[in-house]
Amino acid sequence: MANCLGDTDLCHQPYFAPYALPTLALHPDSSTWIDLPIGDVVRIPLVAIRQPLAGLLWRGRMVRNRDNGTLVAPEINHIMAALDPRMYMARLGSLNIVRKDKKPLSVIHVEALCRHCLDITEPIPHPTGPYISANQAVHDEYFDKQWQLLQTKASRDGFRAYWDAAKAEAEQMCPEGGFIDITYPYDI
């Protein structure tokens, strides 16, 4: 699961957490399924499935972003923004990211893909700092550029190379075999 700001900042949940979905949730449903075009780019058929919004204290309120102190809606999901920058202000809540072909997808695969996407898009300097609604056109253009960069630079081979490097780094940090051997998402 890719948790939203309300879950991460207010409930102290991790950004990524494993979550077992009921079989019924894996059937296409236009109201809960969000297509992830980055899956087509890296050739892993991906979809995000919305969790029902929590009826908790933050409903309709704003929270302070822990990174820069700005007020944001708690339903915003930074993980989704990493995978599809055009969704940077979408109030989606927490999401389950799964494969459309119903093959298993590890939380580690999703986290690695997010980090790979962020590595590609980070070189674009942000034009105005934090999001300000008066400058929405500037922000839209910025995140469209990020998406265009992902479409041109992300690939199956690029993600495989990123996975190899991340796995080698993890194994180097824990040479006693503490790194769990997880296969490539393409080999499943």
**Domain boundaries, position 30:** 5-127+136-173
Interior/surface letters 161-176, b for 16+ CB within 10 angstroms, e for the rest: ebbeeebeeeeeeeee
- In-domain check, residue 18: yes
Verdict on whether the full-model pTM lies above 0.85: no
- In-domain check, residue 178: no
Question: So what's the pLDDT on residue 121?
Answer: 86
Question: So what's the pLDDT on residue 108?
Answer: 85
Question: So what's the pLDDT on residue 158?
Answer: 93
Q: What is the DSSP string of 117-172?
A: HHHHHTTS--SSSS--GGGHHHHHHHHHHHHHHHHHH--HHHHHHHHHHHHHHHHH
Question: So what's the pLDDT on residue 13?
Answer: 79
**Low-confidence spans in the chain with pLDDT less than 50:** none
Question: So what's the pLDDT on residue 152?
Answer: 92
- In-domain check, residue 183: no
SS3 (DSSP) at 40: helix
By the 8 A CB rule, do 146 and 121 touch? yes
* Cβ within 8 Å of residue 54, ≥6 positions away: 6, 7, 93
CB atoms within 10 A of CB 99: 17
* Cβ within 8 Å of residue 37, ≥6 positions away: 84
- In-domain check, residue 185: no
- In-domain check, residue 187: no
- Give the total number of structural domains in the chain: 1
- In-domain check, residue 36: yes
Question: So what's the pLDDT on residue 44?
Answer: 92
Average pLDDT, the chain: 77
- In-domain check, residue 182: no
- In-domain check, residue 180: no
SS3 (DSSP) at 22: coil
Question: So what's the pLDDT on residue 113?
Answer: 92
User: Which amino acid is it at 78?
Assistant: H
Q: How far apart are the first and last CA of the chain?
A: 19
